[in-house]
Amino acid sequence: MPGHPHNNNQMIVIDGVDGAGKGVQSRRLKQSFLDKGFDTILTREPGGSPAAEDIRKLLVEGDPEKWDSLTELLLMYAARRSHLRDTIWPALEAGLWVISDRFADSSRAFQGIAGNLGLDLVEQMHNIVAGDFQPELVLILDIPEDIALQRALARGDGEDRFEKKSSEYHAKVRQAFRQIALNNPSQYRLIDANNTIDQVSRHILEAINQHFDISLSLSDE
């Protein structure tokens, strides 16, 4: 896989259901890294590079039935390929820390499990696009899907195609993320996101400090 850094994996992903607080927590985490003098970028999916942001619009706007799960997955991985090639891999090669708001586990949870494609198909696609590349640590923000959905819809940003899917779908997504995290405790941490923002931030920092043996602290935003 060209441009694929094996050695210096300083990629951390914050993932979970829509409305779990990933945006605010990933911004705070970046600030905690910067406060300690670490060169760090914050990126997101779908998106994270100019080409991938173009694809994002296709995915997150419009009618929930516009694409089937397989088309969603293909679009997600087209965006992810650009994100890896143009943003993530060059940053890791340069020795930066990379924080991503969502990554491949969103495809596993949304399209693989909730969208009924199956995890095998998602893994095949991942291998084609990313080779054996995985982030070093994934933090899954876990919150009851009804609370998360209320938060997500309250944003009113027009990027609500997934939020408009059924409550049953969102319940499946939450269970999927829990299953993924619990199946691989060395790479994943399940973070209870049904807490104050500061409490969630502290749990995230504890998990990262323990995993990487560093000493980040809560930033005074």
What would the DSSP string read from start to end of 143-211?
Answer: --HHHHHHHHHHT--S--TTTTS-HHHHHHHHHHHHHHHHH-TTTEEEEE-SS-HHHHHHHHHHHHHHH
Has residue 207 got a pLDDT over 50? Answer: yes
User: Can you read off the two tokens belonging to residue 97?
Assistant: 């820390």
Q: Where are the domains of the chain?
A: 11-212
**Per-residue pLDDT tens digits for 171-182:** 999 999 999 999
> Is the peptide bond preceding residue 144 cis, with omega within 30 degrees of 0?
no
Task: Read off the pLDDT of each residue in 192-210 and give the average, rounded to a whole number.
Answer: 97
The pLDDT confidence band at residue 132, using thresholds 50, 70 and 90, is very high
Has residue 4 got a pLDDT over 70? Answer: no
Higher-confidence position of 44 and 62: 44
Higher-confidence position of 62 and 136: 136
Distance separating alpha carbons of residues 86 and 206, to the nearest angstrom: 30
Distance separating alpha carbons of residues 17 and 167, to the nearest angstrom: 12
Query: Closest Cα partner for 125 from 162, 187, 71, 66?
Result: 71
Higher-confidence position of 188 and 158: 188
Has residue 153 got a pLDDT over 90? Answer: no
Angle at 63 between CA 127 and CA 85, to 5 degrees: 30
Distance separating alpha carbons of residues 19 and 62, to the nearest angstrom: 19
User: Can you read off the two tokens belonging to residue 9?
Assistant: 């994996």
pLDDT at 156: 65
Burial track 46-59 (b if 16+ CB lie within 10 A, e otherwise): bbbbeebeebbebb
pLDDT at 2: 44
CA distances from residue 220 to 9, 61, 104, 123 in whole angstroms, order as listed: 27, 34, 31, 39
> What does the mean pLDDT of the chain come to?
92
Share of the chain above pLDDT 70, in %: 94
pLDDT at 107: 97
Structural fold of domain 11-212: Rossmann fold (3.40.50)
- C-beta neighbour count of 115 within 10 angstroms: 22
pLDDT at 5: 47
- What 8-state DSSP symbol labels residue 81? H
